[in-house]
Amino acid sequence: MKDITIALVGLGNIGKVHALANLGIPLSFDKLPFSLRMRGVLRVKKSTPCPYYFEKGYADSMSELLADEQINLVDICSPNECHFSQAMEVMNAGLTLYLEKPIANSADEAYELAALARKNNVTNQVALVYRFMPGIVAMRDRISRGDIGRVIDFKFVTLHSGYLDENRKKNWKLTKNASGGGPMLDVGVHLADAVSFVLAPVNSISCTTQYVIRQRRDEATGEMAEVDVEDRATANVLLQNGITGTIEVSRVASVLDQSSILTIFGTKGSMNFNAYVPNRLTIFHQDTGMMETGLPEAVSPYAGYLASIYPAVTTATTKGWLIDTHTASQMNLYNNFAQGATLFPETPLLADAADAQAVIEACYLSAQNGGVETSVDYDEKPVS
């Protein structure tokens, strides 16, 4: 049995999601090929006591964390602007890397991370967790099988309303230098990866962005400050196989269903997926007028594997769609670590995340130029 000793970098909202997933894994699955230990955590905010399940408590620096010889896997959940430099340190130390998205503030940096991972032969995975939602995998598999005929169009949408509150303070997520962008990067990178995963790589983009609330009170200074990231964006997308569709993201949408909804239309029917119920896929069959909905069958080998690492919704170990999906993602990384190999090519590596970031970069470039159609630059950059 492999002993996986984890260092967590960042203990904000998403860091807590990763930690909760880790804590539930031994209860959710029997006969694991690995054991999990949560060794230490690096956090800027140290005013609260460190949770007891971290063996060493808070570290003062990345160098202190990486100097611990017992640590063999580092999980980075820090603010976006830290991802590139911290991931570089982890890979140069030869440790396994799990990295939250977006992996850098630019596609150039993202491709540099991917190149270093290949050069140093580092086991890595990015938290592009949509690849671990059974409904999305079923979408890919059923389309490949021809269940809705030839794909005509797609609409991938993520709508949130949290930033409609004008009293919400400006933090790092609302500062471009720190975040890299607004919802098109924050959640759009998931949709960009899902488009490539389910259908085909993106060829070109025509994008518009909208800034709804331009000033907010800065949480650090208390003064009113300009917001320089978008509140919403819409992109018309052309895939490399000729299929067209749209990606829409918003953090200012007044809707009840604040989720990601993926819809694909074909010549023989359509498919609809809602991320709030990751185990469900709805398929409409045009010839019979029948609606098929529920837990999708496992068509591909990867779908069968995913069923074995996704917490069963009928058991007491399910913790809701967010924790369950991250659990499956982290289980995949730990299985890869235990086996010393990437078990399935569907694993989202740094290279895949860099490609998704290149799509988002094309979105921003298009928006800056008035929505002109902009090709995606997938050129990989050499290690510096």
- pLDDT tens digit sequence for 236-272: 999 999 999 999 999 999 987 788 999 999 999 999 9
Based on its alpha-carbon atoms, the radius of gyration of the chain, rounded to whole angstroms, reads 21
How does residue 346 score in pLDDT terms, banded at 50, 70 and 90? very high
Residue 219 or 148, more confident: 148
Asked if the model's pLDDT at residue 381 lies above 60, the reply is: no
Residue range 119-130: average pLDDT? 97
The dihedral of CA 112, 117, 118, 119: what is its sign? positive
- Residue 187: name the closest of 111, 252, 113, 283 by CA: 252
Band of pLDDT at residue 297, cut at 50, 70 and 90: confident
| Whole-prediction pTM | 0.94
Alpha-carbon span 234 to 281, nearest angstrom: 24
Which residue, 151, 136, 181, 165, is CA-closest to 303?
136
User: CA 361 to CA 377: how far, in whole Å?
Assistant: 9
- Dump strand ranges (E) for the chain: 2-9, 34-42, 58-59, 73-76, 96-99, 124-126, 151-159, 202-210, 215-217, 224-226, 232-239, 244-250, 260-266, 269-274, 281-285, 290-294, 374-375
Residue 281: pLDDT over 80: yes
Range in 22-31, 67-76, 98-107, 127-136 the model is least confident about: 22-31
Spatial separation of the C-alpha atoms in residues 7 and 384, rounded to whole Å: 26
3-state secondary structure of 284: strand
Whole-angstrom Cα distance, residue 27 to residue 316?
A: 10
User: What are phi and psi for residue 265, nearest 5 degrees?
Assistant: -110, 130
Rounded Cα–Cα distance for residues 14 and 8 (Å): 11
* pLDDT level of residue 123 (50, 70, 90 thresholds): very high
pLDDT computed for residue 318 by the predictor: 74
Mean pLDDT of 179-198: 96
Contact 381, 111 (CB under 8 A): yes
Residue 349 near residue 114 (C-beta atoms within 8 A) = yes
38 within 8 A of 22, measured Cβ to Cβ: yes
Q: What letters, b where the CB count within 10 A reaches 16 and e where it falls short, cover 134-167?
A: bbbbbbbbbbeeebbeebeebebbbbbeebeeee
Largest CA distance in the chain: 63
Q: What mean pLDDT value characterizes the chain?
A: 94
Under a CB-based contact definition with an 8 Å cutoff, are residues 102 and 363 in contact? no
Per-residue model confidence (pLDDT) at position 382: 44
Residues 6 or more apart whose CB falls under 8 angstroms from that of 279 comprise 133, 134, 135, 295, 296, 310, 313
Q: Give SS3 for 133.
A: coil
Residues 6+ apart with CB under 8 A from 135: 273, 274, 277, 278, 279, 280, 281, 296
With bands split at pLDDT 50, 70 and 90, how would you rate the model's confidence at 46? confident
Give dist(CA 139, CA 159) in Å, integer.
Answer: 21
CA distance 148 to 269: 5
The answer to whether 303 and 320 are in contact (CB under 8 A) is: no
d(CA 74, CA 96): 6
Among residues 56, 123, 55, the alpha carbon closest in space to that of 87 is found at 123
Single-letter amino acid, residue 227: V
Q: Return the half-sphere exposure (C-beta side, CA atoms, 13 A cut-off) of residue 361.
A: 21
For the chain, percent of residues with pLDDT exceeding 70: 97
Assigned token pair, 156: 């991938």
Q: How confident is the model at residue 316 (pLDDT cuts 50, 70, 90)?
A: low
Question: Per the structure block, which two tokens stand in for 2?
Answer: 């492999």
Cα–Cα dist 201/242, whole Å? 10
